[in-house]
Every structure is written in C-alpha cells, then in structure tokens.
Amino acid sequence: MSAAKAVVGRVWAGFVAPGTLSGVIFVVAAVVIALVFALPVHWSASSTIVVAQPGELFSLPNITLPTRSTVLALAASCVAIGAFMSLRVRPRTHTVTVLVALSLVMLAMLVWAASGRSLQLVDTLQLAFVSATPLILGSLGGVVSERAGAINVGIEGMMLFGAFTGAIGASLAGPTVGILAAVVTGSLLGWLLGIGTIRFGINQIIAGIVMNIALLGVTDFFYNSVLVQYANLNTFTPVGAINIPGLDDLPLIGPVLFEQRIFFYVGVVLALVLYVAFRRSRWGLRVHAVGENPHAADAAGIGVLRTRYQNMAMSGAICGFAGAYLSIGLIGSFTLDMTDGIGYIALAVMIIGGWRPLGALAAAALFGVFESLQGAFATIGVPVASEFLQMAPYVGTIVVVAGVVGTSRMPAADGQPFIKS
C-alpha cells in the first residue's frame, strides 16, 4: 500500500509541477480554440486585418488570411508550446513561453473575430496600450517595493486615492498640480503602510488589504459628501495624447506607441530606468541585497529599514501617479471605485513579469490587449456577450498566474519582517 501511495504521489507531483500543469492548460486551450473558433467557420471564410490608417505617409497593405486554416495553425502552435513547457524548462524561459502561448490564443481570437469582417489593428493596439498604462505603472510600483523585501498589496487603494486627490488638484489648479498631488499622497500612503508593516511588523498582506478597503470607504464618503455637492472640485479637462513628431508617422507602430499620453511615456522610461538601476547602480545593488539577505546587508552597513521605507514611499508615489492617469489622463473627473480591480491585476502582472521591470512592462502590454478585445469585438459586431468580454482580463490573469507561479522567483526576503540582531 505504501509503495502504491508513493507511486501515485510521484505521478501527481509530476502532473502538478509548474511546467507540466501550465503545458496541460495551454494544450486544453488549443483544443478549445480549434473546437470553438476554427471548426464552426467554413473553409472559404477569410479574415481581413486593416493595418493602414488614413493620412499616413507610409502605409502597409492590409492582411487577408484564411480564417479556419490560420486558427488551426495557431492552435497547433499552442499544442507544441504546451508540450515544450511540460519538459520542465528553466523558470525564466517558462514565463516567456506562457506569455507567447497566451499571445497565440489572443491572436486566434482576433482572426476568428475578423472572419467575414475587417478588424482595425491599429485602433485595437492603440487601445491596448491605453488600457495597459495603469498596469505598467502599478506593477512597477510593486516591483520597487518588493525588490526591497516589502510587499505592497495596497496598490489598488493607493491608485484610487491618487485618482481622487489628483482630480481635486487638477480642478483647483490644473493637471500638473493634480499629478503632483497624486504622487505626494501616494508617497505618504506608501510611507504609512511601511510604518505599519516594517516598524510594527503587521502582516504585510493583511495591512495592504485593509488599506485598500479603508481608502475605498474614504473616497466614497468624500465623493458623496463633497464632490457631488461641489462639482467645481471634480471638473477639468483631461490630459490629451502627445504625438512625437517623426515617430508618429511610422507605419503601424507610429500611432500605436507614439500617440499616447504622457503617463505611458513615463511608464516606459521608468521601466527602462529601473532595469538599468537595479543592475548597475549602487542604489539598485543595495536594494537587491536588502531584498535577498537583509541580515547580510545590515552587516555590510546598509540601512535595511531605511531602504525599505524609501522603496515603499517610492512605490506609493508611482501608484499615485498611476491613479492620476485614470482621472486626469482618461476621464476628466473622479468616479466611485474607478480603479475597478486594476491594482490587483497589477500585482498579478508584477508576478508574471518575474519581479522585473521589463517583464512587468511586457506582461502589462499583454493584458492591455485583453482589455482592448472588448472594444474591438463590440466595434465589429462579434456575437459574444459583453459579460464574457469583461471576464477576459480576469480569466487571463488566473490562467497566466497558474502557469507562472512556482517558476518565477521572488526576492528571497520578500514579505519577511527584519529584526535587527
């Protein structure tokens, strides 16, 4: 009996191993793609992807693909990637394969949606980066704190309060003041969360969740009691897109990447700066030491608690800036619960990105595509219930995290309180 149990245990352990499990997930996804998106389509059907935009100096020809054959080919590619993933690939390679496989799934959905129709690729991708911007900034805020060993689950609340204070500041003195107000209040919230978790040792996850709930209540109260009665405190013109001359004329990538709001550009530059800083700068090496082995860092004369406080404040500032994007960059006002779970998805994006700035940037862009699918499908009249489209980002989050958890390595001391010996 014990021998049988041992055999079953080894088989089960092999099945639920991260590589095997995620490989099975994407093989199943490929089967679903073939059955749902390929087989119901006639062999003669074709999909047209519109790449060119009116008024472009340089334009690319539209792409016409046989729908059924293309979707089946993408499904077969997913099967191949799933088999490859089950070979227990290295953790970093594993994460890349998960993202590539999910990209193939989304591409198959887009080809199916364009069957007998025309899909505006530029508009879809442009909307994807609009949706990805708060995820880029929120996930980078999480990276900054967790690389120093301090978990920031309060991203959602910090973004929400940043959107609130940013809206008031923009209404009173313009967008610049609003953005500064959001950054400052976010930094203060990060510092406050750091006091509770770093100094007093409160459980970091529980403290972050409590902060999210508390800030949701605070913003609801002041919205109903103040902003509803004094509309002048919540009315302003949102920040428009900034075209980068020369680059915005490039085919396809020009309008997608170089006709965005300032928040997107800051997010991309910040990801690149953090990538270099974590690898090359003295500050980055100190943060790495604190996040991996705080006792060794302390013995080397590095202020562990001070570093964690600083990174928590920086994390809060970035999250506040992300919240300002929602109110100042998109809508032009503050609305109740306008983050709508973006902060929690940003946490998942950070994990999928392997606690690395560029990984978070790539994962956020992928989830931005998930969000843009809703608008693209609705525009071309795809017969899919809106409720299912709204579920897409969250289902994608669960699937990808299931494929990545256990393979991406977090900082060794992440979430562990530091007690000076």
Query: Are residues 272 and 419 both part of a single domain?
Result: yes
Q: Are residues 68 and 130 in the same domain?
A: no
pLDDT value at position 11?
38
pLDDT of residue 281: 94
Provide the whole-model pTM: 0.87
CA 352 to CA 95: how far, in whole Å?
A: 7
Q: Are residues 281 and 206 in the same domain?
A: yes
pLDDT value at residue 7 = 42
Closest by Cα among 366, 368, 396, 382 to 110: 382
User: How far from the centroid of its chain's Cα atoms is residue 243's Cα?
Assistant: 24
The pair of three-digit structure tokens given for residue 187, joined into one six-digit string? 């930094």
What pLDDT score does 366 carry? 83
Say whether both 362 and 220 belong to one domain: yes
pLDDT at 152: 94
128 and 109 assigned to the same domain = no
Which of residues 86, 116, 146 is at a domain's end? 116
Predicted local confidence at residue 251, as pLDDT? 78
**Please, which residues bridge with residue 47 across strands?**
65, 115
Q: Is residue 165 domain-shared with residue 102, that is, in the same domain?
A: no
Domain match, 352 and 244 both = yes
Give the CB-side neighbour count of residue 22, counting CA atoms within 13 A. 31
From 116, 141, 169, the end of a domain falls on 116
Q: Residue written as tokens 């994006």?
A: 349
Question: Any idea what the Cα angle at residue 414 is, between residues 413 and 417, rounded to 5°?
Answer: 70
pLDDT one-digit tens code per residue, 118-159? 778 888 888 889 999 999 999 999 999 999 999 999 999 999
Residues of the chain with pLDDT under 50: 7-16, 18
Q: What DSSP line would sit under 108-176, residue for residue?
A: HHHHHHTBTSEEEHHHHHHHHHHHHHHHHHHHHHHHHHHTTT---TTHHHHHHHHHHHHHHHHHHH-HH
**The pLDDT of residue 403:** 58
CA–chain centroid gap for 111, Å, is 24
Residue 72: give the domain boundaries.
11-116
Angle among Cα 12, 13, 18 to the nearest 5 degrees reads 115
Q: What is the pLDDT of residue 26?
A: 73
Specify whether the CB–CB gap between 44 and 67 falls below 8 A: no
Tell me the two tokens of residue 322: 């992300």
Classify strands 63-66 and 46-50 as parallel, antiparallel or unpaired. Answer: antiparallel
Measured distance CA(419)–CA(36) in Å, rounded? 55
Question: How far apart, in Å, are the Cα atoms of 296 and each of 57, 106, 286, 292, 413?
Answer: 58, 45, 11, 9, 11
Looking at the chain, the number of H-run helices and the number of E-run strands are 16, 5
Residues 221 and 334 in one domain: yes
Q: How many separate domains does the chain show?
A: 2
Phi/psi of residue 190, nearest 5 degrees: -65, -40
Query: Is residue 5 assigned to a domain?
Result: no
Same domain, residue pair 80 and 150: no
